[in-house]
Every structure is written in C-alpha cells, then in structure tokens.
Amino acid sequence: MNPLIPLFVAVPLAGAFLTMIFGKFVKNLNRYIGLIVLLFLAIISYYSIVTVSGTVSVYKVGGWEPINGIPIGIYMVMDSLTAILLCIINTIGLLAVFYSFTYISQYTSENYFYALFCLMVAGMNGVVLSGDLFNIYVFLEISAISSYALVAFGVEREQLEATFKYQVLGGLASLLILLGIGFIYWKAKTLNLADIKVALGSAPEKIHYLLVQMLLLSGFGLKAAIIPFHAWLPDAHSSAPSPISAMLSGVLIKAAGIYVILRLFFNMFIISEEVAILITTLGALSMAVGVFLAIGQWDIKRLLAYHSISQMGYVVMSVGVGMILVARNTKPEVASLAIAGGLFHLINHAAFKSLLFLNAGAIEYRIGTRNLQEMGGLSQFMPATSSTSFVASMAISGIPPFNGFFSKLIIIIAAIMAKFYLLALIAVIVSIITLASFMKFQRYAFYNKEVQKDEKSPKEVPFPMVASMVTLGILCLLLSLLVLPQVRDIVLKPAIDILMNSQMYISPILGM
C-alpha cells in the first residue's frame, strides 16, 4: 500500500482543524498553515505522478482485506489519471493560497477562509482518490459545502444570491447522484467501482443501465457545468473572491465533474455508442453556446465564467470522440489521440483560466470594478497584471507558442482523423470567437485610452499576487512541452491507457 495516499485527505483536514484552533491566537498563522499544507500536497503530487506512472496503487483504509474476492473496506486508488488531477488541484491551490495573503485581507474572518479552503482541497483530493461511489459522494459534499460558503464569503447581496442558486442546483446534482448510486447498489450489491464493473457483467439489464448512466451523467454534468447544466456557474464564479473563482473554474469543475464522468464511463460502465454520442454532443454544445454567451459580457468575471463552459466543452467533446471510437472498436490510435487532446486541454485550462481569474481579481483589487467599460490604460500602471493576462488570453485563444494552441490542435486533428469534420470546424470557429472575446478584454482593460499618472493612479498589486500570476504565466508556456512525445509518454500516456483498458484499473483492486 502507498502510504502517501491518505495524506492527500488527512493533511488538509488537519490544516483546517489547526487553523480554526490556533489561527485566532497567533496573527497570520492561518495563512502560513494553509501555505504549508498546500506546498506539502503539491510536492507529493509531483512525486506521485512520476512514481505511479503505468501502475495502480491501492490503499485499504483500516487494512480491511477482501473476503472471498469481494472488497468490503474503503479503497483509495491512485493511478496516472488520479495523479494528474492531484497535481492540478494542489498546484492551483498552492498559488491561490499565496495570492490570498494580500487579496483576502479586504474581507473579515480570514480564519474561516483558510479553514474552508483546506476543507475544499481535502474534498477534491478525496473525490479523485476514492475507489467507491459512496465515498466519491461524501468527498463531493465536503468540497461542495465548503465552496458554497466560500462563494458567499463577501456576504453582500450578490454573493448570497449566487451561492443560493449554486446550493439549489448543487443539491439537485447531489440528489441525482445519490439516486444513481442507489440504483447501482440495488443491482450490483456493491459500491466499489471495480467490483460494480464485474458484478453488472458484460450484458447488464439495458433499461436499468441506461437510467443509472443518465442520472449520474446529469448529476456530475451539473457539477461540471456543461450545457444544459450550467445555470449556476456564471453567478457563482463571478461573485466569489478571485482565488476561489480560480479554484472553482480551474479545479472544482474538473475534479467534481469531468474527472468522475471519465472514471465512471470508461472504468465502471461498458461504453455504448449512444451514450458516447450524447456526451460528444453535450461537449460540442458547451463549446459553441458558452463562447456565444461570453462574447457579449462586460463583467470580466462573468465573461471568464462563460468561457469556462466553452473550454470544458473542448475537453468533453474530445473525450467523447474517443469514447465513440472505443465503442465502435475502431481506430484505437485515433481514440487515444482524442483522449490525449482532452486530458491535455484539461491541464492547460487549469493554468490559463486560473490565471485569468487572478488577473480579474488584481484589477478589481486596485480599481474596484469588474466592468470593462469603466477601465482602460491599465497596462502602464499594472505591467505584471497586463503581461500575464496577455499570456493567458493568447493561451485560451489557442495562439502559438502557448499551451492552449497545442491541445486545441490535437483535438482538431483527432476529430478530422475520426472523420468528425463538423466537430473540427466548430472547434476552429469557437477558437476564433474566443480570440475576438479576449482581444476585447485586452483592449478595454489595458489599452483603450491614455491616462496621466498622478498620486491617485492605480499601482501594481502586492508581491504575493504578482508571484502567483507570474508563475501561472510561466506554466502557460511550460505546459506546451506536453506535446513532446518524451514528456507525453510520462504524463498523459499512462492515464490514457488506464481509461482505454479498464482491466488495468480493475485487476490491482480485485487482485485478479
């Protein structure tokens, strides 16, 4: 058993506990506890992605061994796909915590902020590590309840209204997921993902199987905010403090939504062509509708929120193309390429979208507005914010040499090779409209008018905020290296193999 696995949950839970106890008595201790917790988690995440490559590590909580081949305990499972998500969660979490050192000082109750932040990270780490449906649900609720509170952290009317909508739709998602889990347990008599795959067999009851798939796809689709399950996202992401917006958009919709959909539909269910086509269609709709909703926005954070829907559409559409080819049992190399494009874009989106939300937070921190029409000329006063937002804008628009170009290129090439020409065309058009949208952002926020410097002119944000933005800007360039075969074989290929060959996931868990 890998002893590092439980630390991904235990350490942030302990961090939340210690913050609430000692943070009240020692000034600024809360932020340093959060920083140390996330730094430790980031280090072991990168260690894990190198050491786990191509293998599956299983941690049996409480040491409960299978009885007659049936897993009766709680299993935490780490493979290459899990390791990628852990790196995303804990890297963005680390940078968001450091950014918060100065940003969150404008709010009261810093203690609660860092405690809730640690709880949210613990929940997301738990979701991606859980090997059974019930504990996925438990950790999902830990991360969701923490995020509800963090969205409302400013306690203004806008934040409270946004978190209410988020809670209502989040509660509906949880209900759908719980119903799906109940229907699975009714037939399979187990909730372990690997055991469910074996228990339901190769010829499950079709109506029951389809009902469960639709319930879980709807529930986790709500968590991922894919069209038509997106209504909560623009309000929640725009109202939350900017470090939380970065976590929600860059991390939470992936860990609580996209990851679980991938894990369930590749490693627990038998992929059917009909469901694969549905998932691909939802991805294409998210791509197109999200970008058209974004382009008319003048509130920076709402504009970015709608682009999150659009960019997650790229991921879902690309992975859906891979699912269709796997279901048809044709062109495995193209299926592998499509899934690689989806995972690559998932990683890239975490970097450039988190950076854009931190940029929006820096602008709001200095000039007190999110309305693009009230801005202009900020490039001469805030050079670090201006240059990093330009990097992120080019990355999300798919301009070389930034990371978004390479993942979008792989997605488009895979769609063409799979003969889904319409999807490839939609992906190109959406990318062009995205570029237009971010040219508008750059023009109105940073250029647009000449402003004379005086004592009241805005200044660059403090060092912790600049350092987090610059680090993410560098990542937007460095992640382009994932296109190289040598790097791709270490990071992406083992995760693709796990998804395409469910037996690689099942055998180490069940000891087959």
Report the 10 Å Cβ neighbour count for 237. 30
Q: What is the C-alpha to C-alpha distance for residues 392 and 300, in angstroms, rounded to an integer?
A: 14
pLDDT band at 208 (very low <50, low <70, confident <90, very high): confident
What pLDDT is stored for residue 230 in this prediction? 85
What pLDDT is stored for residue 5 in this prediction? 92
Q: What is the C-alpha to C-alpha distance for residues 309 and 423, in angstroms, rounded to an integer?
A: 17
What pLDDT is stored for residue 162 in this prediction? 85
219 closest CA partner among 268, 172, 158: 172
Instruction: Indicate the range of 35-49, 102-116, 356-370, 483-497 predicted with least confidence.
Output: 102-116
pLDDT band at 284 (very low <50, low <70, confident <90, very high): very high
247 closest CA partner among 103, 130, 343: 103
DSSP structural state of residue 63: T
Instruction: Indicate the range of 76-90, 289-303, 366-380 predicted with least confidence.
Output: 366-380
What pLDDT is stored for residue 46 in this prediction? 93
**In the predicted model, what is the mean pLDDT of the chain?**
90
Residue 104 or residue 422, greater confidence:
422
What tokens were used for 167? 């809670």
Q: What is the C-alpha to C-alpha distance for residues 134 and 137, in angstroms, rounded to an integer?
A: 5
Q: Dump pLDDT digits (tens) for 77-129.
A: 999 999 999 999 999 999 999 999 988 887 777 888 999 999 999 999 999 99
12 closest CA partner among 102, 96, 124, 172: 124
What tokens were used for 124? 């997301």
The answer to whether residue 340 scores a pLDDT higher than 90 is yes
The HSE-up count of residue 138 (CA atoms within 13 Å, CB side) is: 12
Contact 83, 5 (CB under 8 A): no
pLDDT band at 455 (very low <50, low <70, confident <90, very high): low
What one-character-per-residue DSSP string does 117-184 give? HHHHHHHHHHHHHB-BHHHHHHHHHHHHHHHHHHHTTT-SHHHHHHHHHHHHHHHHHHHHHHHHHHHH
Strand partners, 58: 77
The answer to whether residue 9 scores a pLDDT higher than 80 is yes
Between the alpha carbon of residue 180 and those of residues 70, 85, 185, 212, the distances in Å are 21, 24, 9, 5
What pTM was estimated for this model as a whole? 0.93
Instruction: Indicate the range of 49-53, 219-223, 338-342 predicted with least confidence.
Output: 49-53
